[in-house]
DNA sequence: GTAGGCTGTCATCGT
DNA sequence: AGACGATGACAGCCT
């Protein structure tokens, strides 16, 4: 405590900014404290200046110097209601909800209004992929749909619903997205049921049964078929929990799914729609594995209940979900000095965590939009209504092409993919659970090792007549687990079985964690390699530049020497002496001198005796061996003065002056 | 049919 | 001593 007196602590709320923004949005909707009216196409929108100015350069410019009340801004004609309203919503919610129909309009308005955080990069990335990918993704869908009529029906239903959606609430302009959503969801839900019901019938008829669930992992299908009555949570739960951990282990990823039951019933049963802004939270924070919390699936007798609870537990470290409409306060975990934040969840949508500043808003926005990619998600739009397809409705295989997109955040797709896999497993579990009655006993003889093992686990669990759920064996903490064992008097066999299940499940999770770490390590090493490679290139370029400078300097010296020799009119002997005192090996001056002397010697044979001097006394060819004394200049001058010309044999005073020598030394230095 | 990736499980070691 | 996590190795399944 004494140290506390001297230490400073900082409490940083992870929910404050979101709370403020939410309150502002509520104020806007209630027209409280709004101080500006924005007129777009004869429609008025009340808002707060500060909010608009914070998000838009246009508003910022127009509002900065205006202090009066009742400020009305008429937006330019190019700004439409269709494009502006989502932007206004984005300003207050950080979420941009768009459809294929209005994304261009939004883009245009964002450009005109200079909406920050929705800059060019975002739309440059979104738009081409959005529209260009329609065909390609449809191909993907087609390929997938070829497997099953059901998928075709689902796609058609999604398309139909799109169409219905387009025409359904066209009149609702004020809140088009919000109003469309329920209709869309409900209609879609109905159609999903309708389209899939025949498949179930066909399944019963043993005609298209496999095709309907052919996309499901046979292993889990078998497993689910085997465990049947809601025990699928046993093994799907660790998946979910682990996925959270594994995601957190990624350089930057996190994920959460909506957990509200109402969401399940109203919205998520239909998968992802174009308006469904299901997105993954993608904080860069690297989180160490967090201990698996107690399983949130308490009851699992009902397959549907299990499906929901399985999804609930996807956010392993998250608190239990609140009731519908209730805003879940963000939870923040400080691990390894980095913050992993769980963003709010409302209306079944996930929002990118605005507090995560390690990643640019644009990246997160793109991630947000990509996660709700209509083309991808539409293929799963009509997930069986009872499946736990809430939130994640993207197949892992469908994320493969996303990996190929060059976007900084796409490394997170690995995490998303993992999450999707978990979701798929969960979905399969749920699906298989609810179709288990249809498939009762089918393929029971063809279990593979894993499925057999898992099914055996479930079967044995039921045979053991354990007084608690199998999932509890895995999800409970050590103390709780032991407490539970003490509470229930178990036989030796039951104890062994329980311990074995717990051990294997824990180890399964650990293996996933280990592999994830390994992949992360590989990823980091690859990044390090890339960094070092770029650094090497940079140093190489720098060296090349320095070499060029050195060469240029050498040439300058040469020119300078030529000029000096021309002005001084030095004789070869004088050059020799001169070279002696400028004999720094690396000095281009010396080299130049030697060259000059050699030319003399070659042209005048009588000067040959001087040659040895160049190689020995002068030290021209001995780089670095010459050190200059303080009286170098004096020696040089005296030597030069005492030098006799070989041509005449007469002593001749050197014509170079001390000033020239000084100049020479200075130039050289 | 095959290669590669993924996943579960076991064995082992260290904490 | 027992529980637990990490990890290599192996096997099976899927794409």
Q: pLDDT tens for residues A111-133? A: 888 876 666 556 665 665 556 54
Q: Does residue A239 lie within 7 Å of nucleic acid chain B, judged by its CB?
A: yes
Q: Does residue A450 lie within 7 Å of nucleic acid chain B, judged by its CB?
A: yes
For residue A49, what pLDDT band results from cuts at 50, 70 and 90?
confident
For residue A518, which nucleotide's C1' is closest to its Cα? Answer: C7
For A15-118, CATH number?
3.30.710.10
| Residue A615: predicted pLDDT | 38
- Kind and range of the H or E run holding A349: strand A349-350
Do the Cβ atoms of A105 and A80 come closer than 8 Å?
Answer: yes
Cα A10 versus chain centre, distance = 28
Compute the average pLDDT of residues A362-376.
39
- Kind and range of the H or E run holding A467: none
Gap from A217 CA to C14 C1', in Å? 8
The closest alpha carbon to A251, from A38, A408, A458, belongs to: A408
For residue A478, which nucleotide's C1' is closest to its Cα? Answer: C3
Of A581 and A364, which is predicted with more confidence? A581
Mean pLDDT is highest, among A25-39, A135-149, A387-401, for A25-39
**Protein residue closest via CA to C1' of C7:** A514
Mean pLDDT is highest, among A93-97, A140-144, A409-413, for A93-97
Do the Cβ atoms of A227 and A431 come closer than 8 Å?
Answer: no
Strand pairing report for A345-346 and A349-350 = antiparallel
What whole-number percentage of chain A has pLDDT above 90?
3
Q: Does residue A513 lie within 7 Å of nucleic acid chain C, judged by its CB?
A: yes
Distance between CA atoms of A615 and A594, rounded to whole angstroms? 9
Q: Which of A350-359, A469-478, A526-535, A640-649 has the lowest mean pLDDT?
A: A350-359
Compute the average pLDDT of residues A210-224.
34
Do the Cβ atoms of A385 and A270 come closer than 8 Å?
Answer: yes
Q: pLDDT tens for residues A70-112? A: 778 888 888 888 888 888 888 888 777 777 777 788 888 888 8
Compute the average pLDDT of residues A537-557.
94
**Protein residue closest via CA to C1' of C6:** A514
For residue A210, what pLDDT band results from cuts at 50, 70 and 90?
very low
pLDDT at A301 over 50: no
| Residue A199: predicted pLDDT | 33
For residue A550, what pLDDT band results from cuts at 50, 70 and 90?
very high
CATH class name, domain A455-542: mainly alpha
Helix (H, G, I), strand (E, B) or coil at A286: coil
Q: Which of A98-107, A339-348, A416-425, A536-545 has the lowest mean pLDDT?
A: A339-348
Compute the average pLDDT of residues A594-619.
46
Q: Does residue A510 lie within 7 Å of nucleic acid chain C, judged by its CB?
A: yes
Compute the average pLDDT of residues A174-202.
34
| Residue A423: predicted pLDDT | 39
Distance between CA atoms of A161 and A166, rounded to whole angstroms? 8
Q: Does residue A323 lie within 7 Å of nucleic acid chain C, judged by its CB?
A: no
| Residue A316: predicted pLDDT | 35
**Protein residue closest via CA to C1' of C11:** A449
Domain boundaries of chain A, sorted by first residue: 15-118, 455-542
> Which residue in the block uniquely carries the two structure tokens 């687990």?
A481
Q: CB within 8 A of A351, min separation 6: which ones?
A: A93, A94, A95, A277, A279, A281, A343, A344, A345, A368
| A349 beta partners | A346
Q: pLDDT tens for residues A159-173? A: 333 333 333 333 333
Gap from A519 CA to B5 C1', in Å? 12
Of A82 and A340, which is predicted with more confidence? A82
Q: Which nucleotides of B are covered by protein (CB under 7 A)?
A: 6-11
pLDDT at A176 over 90: no
Q: Which nucleotides of C are covered by protein (CB under 7 A)?
A: 3-9, 11-15
Q: pLDDT tens for residues A651-667? A: 434 445 556 655 555 65
| Residue A552: predicted pLDDT | 93
Distance between CA atoms of A213 and A129, rounded to whole angstroms? 29
Of A656 and A200, which is predicted with more confidence? A656
| Residue A607: predicted pLDDT | 40
Q: CB within 8 A of A289, min separation 6: which ones?
A: A245, A248, A249, A513
Distance between CA atoms of A628 and A631, rounded to whole angstroms? 8
**Protein residue closest via CA to C1' of B9:** A504
- Within 13 A of A316's CA, how many CA atoms are on the CB side? 26
Q: Does residue A641 lie within 7 Å of nucleic acid chain B, judged by its CB?
A: no
- Within 13 A of A503's CA, how many CA atoms are on the CB side? 6
Compute the average pLDDT of residues A270-290.
34
Across chain A, mean pLDDT equals 53
Q: Does residue A375 lie within 7 Å of nucleic acid chain B, judged by its CB?
A: no
pLDDT at A493 over 70: yes
């Amino acid at each position: 405590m004494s140290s506390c007196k001297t230490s400073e602590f900082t409490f940083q709320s992870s929910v404050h900014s979101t709370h403020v923004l939410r309150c502002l949005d509520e104020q806007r909707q209630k027209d409280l404290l709004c101080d500006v009216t924005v007129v777009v196409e004869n429609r008025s929108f009340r808002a707060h200046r500060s909010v608009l100015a914070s998000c838009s350069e246009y508003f910022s410019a127009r509002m900065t110097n205006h202090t009066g009340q009742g400020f009305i801004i008429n937006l330019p004609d190019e700004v439409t209601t269709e494009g502006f309203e989502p932007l206004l919503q984005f300003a207050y919610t950080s979420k941009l909800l768009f459809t294929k129909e209005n994304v261009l309009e939004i883009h245009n308005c964002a450009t005109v209004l200079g909406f920050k955080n929705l800059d060019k990069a975002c739309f440059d990335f979104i738009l081409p992929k959005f529209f260009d990918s329609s065909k390609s993704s449809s191909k993907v869908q087609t390929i997938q749909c070829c497997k099953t009529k059901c998928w075709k029906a689902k796609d058609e239903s999604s398309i139909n619903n799109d169409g219905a959606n387009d025409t359904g609430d066209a009149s609702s302009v004020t809140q088009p997205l919000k109003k469309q959503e329920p209709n869309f969801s409900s209609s879609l839900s109905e159609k999903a049921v309708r389209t899939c019901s025949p498949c179930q019938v066909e399944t019963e008829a043993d005609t298209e049964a496999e095709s309907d669930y052919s996309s499901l992992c046979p292993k889990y299908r078998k497993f689910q078929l085997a465990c049947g009555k809601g025990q699928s949570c046993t093994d799907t739960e660790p998946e979910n929990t682990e996925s959270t951990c594994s995601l957190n282990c990624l350089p930057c990823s996190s994920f959460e799914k909506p957990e509200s039951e109402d969401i399940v019933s109203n919205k998520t049963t239909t998968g992802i729609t174009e308006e469904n802004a299901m997105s993954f939270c993608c904080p860069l924070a690297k989180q160490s594995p967090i201990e698996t919390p107690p399983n949130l699936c308490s009851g699992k007798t009902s397959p549907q209940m299990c499906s929901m609870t399985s999804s609930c537990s996807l956010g392993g470290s998250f608190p239990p979900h609140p009731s519908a409409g209730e805003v879940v306060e963000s939870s923040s975990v400080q691990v390894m000095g980095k913050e992993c934040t769980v963003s709010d969840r409302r209306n079944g949508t996930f929002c990118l965590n605005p507090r995560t500043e390690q990643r640019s808003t644009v990246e997160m926005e793109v991630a947000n939009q990509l996660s709700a990619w209509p083309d991808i998600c539409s293929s799963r739009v009509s997930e069986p209504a009872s499946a736990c397809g809430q939130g994640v409705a993207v197949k892992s295989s469908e994320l493969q092409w996303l990996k190929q997109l060059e976007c900084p955040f796409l490394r997170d797709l690995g995490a998303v993919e993992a999450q999707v896999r978990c979701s798929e497993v969960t979905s399969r579990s749920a699906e298989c659970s609810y179709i288990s009655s249809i498939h009762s006993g089918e393929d029971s003889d063809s279990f593979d090792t894993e499925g057999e093992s898992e099914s055996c686990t479930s079967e044995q669990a039921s045979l053991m007549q354990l007084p608690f759920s199998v999932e509890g064996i895995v999800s409970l903490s050590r103390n709780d687990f032991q407490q539970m064992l003490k509470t229930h008097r178990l036989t030796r066999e039951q104890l062994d079985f329980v311990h074995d299940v717990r051990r294997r499940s824990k180890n399964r999770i650990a293996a996933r964690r280990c592999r994830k770490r390994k992949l992360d390590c590989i990823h980091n090493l690859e990044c390090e390699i890339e960094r070092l490679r770029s650094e090497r290139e940079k140093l190489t370029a720098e060296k090349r530049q320095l070499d060029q400078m050195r060469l240029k300097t050498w040439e300058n010296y040469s020119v300078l020497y030529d000029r000096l020799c021309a002005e001084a009119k030095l004789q070869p002997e004088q050059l020799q002496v001169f070279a002696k005192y400028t004999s720094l090996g690396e000095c281009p001056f010396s080299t130049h001198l030697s060259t000059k002397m050699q030319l003399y010697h070659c042209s005048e044979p009588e000067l040959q005796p001087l040659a040895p001097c160049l190689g020995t006394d002068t030290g021209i060819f001995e780089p670095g061996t010459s050190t200059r004394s303080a009286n170098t200049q004096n020696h040089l001058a005296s030597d030069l003065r005492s030098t006799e010309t070989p041509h005449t044999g007469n002593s001749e005073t050197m014509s170079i002056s001390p000033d020239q020598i000084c100049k020479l030394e200075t130039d050289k230095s």
